[in-house]
Chains A and B, each alone.
Chain A
Amino acid sequence: MANDGFKVRLSRRQFTAAAVTTAATLSMGLSRLVQAQEAKTLRIRISSDIGNLDPAKIFQIENQSVATHIYNGMAKYDEATNKIVPDLANAWEVSDGGKVYTFTLREGVMWHKDYGAFTSDDVKFSFERVLDPKTGSSYAGQLSSIASIETPAPNKVVITLKAANSGFLHKMAAFNQGWIVSRKALADIGEEKYRLNPIGTGPFIFDRWTPGQEVRLVANTAYFGGAPKVQSIVFRLIRDETASAIALENGEVDIFFGLQQPEVIARLKGSANVTVLDRPANHTINLVLNTEVKPLDDVRVRQAIMFAINRDALIKGFFKDTKRAAFNVLTPSFPEYTEDVPHYNYDPEKARALLKQAGHTSFPLDLITPAAAPYDKIIVPIANDLMNVGIQASIKTLERGAFLQARGKGNIPTSITGVVGAPDPDSPILSLYSRSAFPPGLNTAHYAQIEDLIAQASAAPDEAARKVAYAAILKKTMTDVPVIPLYADNLYIAHTKKVQGFVQNSLFTVNGASVSLG
Chain B
Amino acid sequence: MGSYLARQLSQLFITLFGIITVTFFMVRMIPGDPAQYMLGDYATDEALATLRAQMGLDKPVVVQYMMYMARAVTGDLGDSVITGRSALSEILQSLPDSTILAFAGLAIAVVIGVPMGIITAMRQGTWADTLIMLVALAGISFPVFWLGLASILLFSQELKWFPALGSSSGQGFWNAVYYLTLPALVLGVSVAAYVTRLTRSAMLEIIGQDYIRVARAMGVPERVIVWRLAFKNALIPILAIVGVTFAYSLGSAILIEVVFSRPGVGSTILKAVSARDYQLVQAGVLILAVGVVVVNTLLDLTYALVDPRMRKR
- With both beta carbons as reference points, the residue of chain A lying nearest to B47 in the complex is identified as A136
- With both beta carbons as reference points, the residue of chain A lying nearest to B258 in the complex is identified as A239
- With both beta carbons as reference points, the residue of chain A lying nearest to B155 in the complex is identified as A27
Interface of A, helix, strand, loop or mixed by DSSP: mixed
Q: Is A518 an interface residue (CB 8 A)?
A: no
Q: Is there an interface contact between A212 and B268, defined as CB atoms closer than 8 Å?
A: yes
- With both beta carbons as reference points, the residue of chain B lying nearest to A239 in the complex is identified as B258
Q: Is A405 an interface residue (CB 8 A)?
A: yes
Known interface pairs A33-B175, A37-B175, A216-B169. Does A399 touch B274 (Cβ–Cβ under 8 Å)? Answer: yes
Residues on A with C-beta less than 8 A from B94 are 211-212
Q: Is there an interface contact between B40 and A138, defined as CB atoms closer than 8 Å?
A: yes
Residues on B with C-beta less than 8 A from A51 are 82-83, 275
For the complex, what is the distance from the CA of A400 to the CA of B30, rounded to whole Å? 11
Min CB distance A396 to B, Å, is: 12
Q: Is A24 an interface residue (CB 8 A)?
A: yes
Q: Is there an interface contact between A441 and B169, defined as CB atoms closer than 8 Å?
A: no
Min CB distance A445 to B, Å, is: 14
Residues of chain B in range 148-194 having any CB-CB distance to chain A below 8 Å: 149, 152-153, 156-157, 159-165, 167-171, 174-175, 177-179, 181
For the complex, what is the distance from the CA of A240 to the CA of B259, rounded to whole Å? 7
Residues on A with C-beta less than 8 A from B159 are 24
Q: Is B208 an interface residue (CB 8 A)?
A: no
Residues of chain A in range 188-234 having any CB-CB distance to chain B below 8 Å: 192-193, 195-196, 210-214, 216, 234
Known interface pairs A24-B161, A212-B263. Does A30 touch B152 (Cβ–Cβ under 8 Å)? Answer: no
Known interface pairs A240-B259, A401-B34. Does A252 touch B167 (Cβ–Cβ under 8 Å)? Answer: no
Determine, out of A67-75, A152-160, A243-251, the stretch whose residues face the partner at the interface: A243-251
Q: Is B248 an interface residue (CB 8 A)?
A: no
Min CB distance A10 to B, Å, is: 15
Min CB distance A54 to B, Å, is: 10
* Cβ contacts B20-47/A at 8 Å (1 or 0 each): 0000000000111110111111111111
Q: Is B216 an interface residue (CB 8 A)?
A: no
- A-B contact number at CB 8 A: 178
For the complex, what is the distance from the CA of A192 to the CA of B84, rounded to whole Å? 6
Q: Is there an interface contact between A247 and B163, defined as CB atoms closer than 8 Å?
A: yes
Q: Is there an interface contact between A37 and B170, defined as CB atoms closer than 8 Å?
A: yes
A252 touches which one: B40, B51, B165, B268 (CB < 8 A)? Answer: B165
* Cβ contacts A16-30/B at 8 Å (1 or 0 each): 000000011001101
Q: Is B205 an interface residue (CB 8 A)?
A: no
Residues on A with C-beta less than 8 A from B261 are 213, 236-240, 243
Min CB distance B224 to A, Å, is: 14
Q: Is there an interface contact between A31 and B42, defined as CB atoms closer than 8 Å?
A: no
* Cβ contacts A248-273/B at 8 Å (1 or 0 each): 01101100000000000000000000
Q: Is B19 an interface residue (CB 8 A)?
A: no
Q: Is B222 an interface residue (CB 8 A)?
A: yes
- With both beta carbons as reference points, the residue of chain A lying nearest to B261 in the complex is identified as A238
- With both beta carbons as reference points, the residue of chain B lying nearest to A398 in the complex is identified as B31
* Cβ contacts B238-266/A at 8 Å (1 or 0 each): 00000000000000000001111111100
* Cβ contacts B80-113/A at 8 Å (1 or 0 each): 0011110000100110010000000000000000
Q: Is B276 an interface residue (CB 8 A)?
A: yes
B156 touches which one: A28, A246, A405 (CB < 8 A)? Answer: A246
Q: Is B213 an interface residue (CB 8 A)?
A: no
Known interface pairs A30-B174, A400-B274. Does A212 touch B262 (Cβ–Cβ under 8 Å)? Answer: yes
Q: Is there an interface contact between B163 and A252, defined as CB atoms closer than 8 Å?
A: yes
B257 touches which one: A24, A30, A212, A404 (CB < 8 A)? Answer: A212
Residues on A with C-beta less than 8 A from B276 are 401
For the complex, what is the distance from the CA of A441 to the CA of B44, rounded to whole Å? 8
Known interface pairs A196-B83, A216-B169, A234-B169. Does A138 touch B32 (Cβ–Cβ under 8 Å)? Answer: no
Known interface pairs A31-B178, A33-B175, A405-B31. Does A212 touch B163 (Cβ–Cβ under 8 Å)? Answer: no
Q: Is A317 an interface residue (CB 8 A)?
A: no
Residues on A with C-beta less than 8 A from B263 are 210-213
For the complex, what is the distance from the CA of A140 to the CA of B46, rounded to whole Å? 13
Min CB distance B250 to A, Å, is: 16
For the complex, what is the distance from the CA of A10 to the CA of B83, rounded to whole Å? 57
For the complex, what is the distance from the CA of A60 to the CA of B178, rounded to whole Å? 33
Known interface pairs A196-B83, A212-B262. Does A242 touch B149 (Cβ–Cβ under 8 Å)? Answer: yes
- With both beta carbons as reference points, the residue of chain B lying nearest to A216 in the complex is identified as B169
For the complex, what is the distance from the CA of A38 to the CA of B178, rounded to whole Å? 14
For the complex, what is the distance from the CA of A1 to the CA of B160, rounded to whole Å? 40
For the complex, what is the distance from the CA of A384 to the CA of B275, rounded to whole Å? 31
Q: Is B130 an interface residue (CB 8 A)?
A: no
Q: Is there an interface contact between B153 and A246, defined as CB atoms closer than 8 Å?
A: yes
Q: Is B50 an interface residue (CB 8 A)?
A: yes
Q: Is there an interface contact between B43 and A408, defined as CB atoms closer than 8 Å?
A: yes
Q: Which of B156, B165, B175, B268 has its CB near the most chain A CB atoms (within 10 A)? A: B165
- 26 A-B pairs (CB sep. < 8 Å): A34-B175, A49-B271, A51-B83, A138-B41, A138-B47, A141-B42, A211-B94, A211-B263, A211-B271, A212-B97, A213-B167, A238-B261, A239-B258, A240-B258, A240-B259, A242-B149, A243-B261, A246-B156, A247-B164, A399-B32, A401-B31, A408-B48, A440-B44, A440-B48, A441-B41, A442-B41
A-B residue pairs, 6 tightest by C-beta? A401-B32, A212-B263, A138-B42, A136-B47, A30-B178, A213-B263
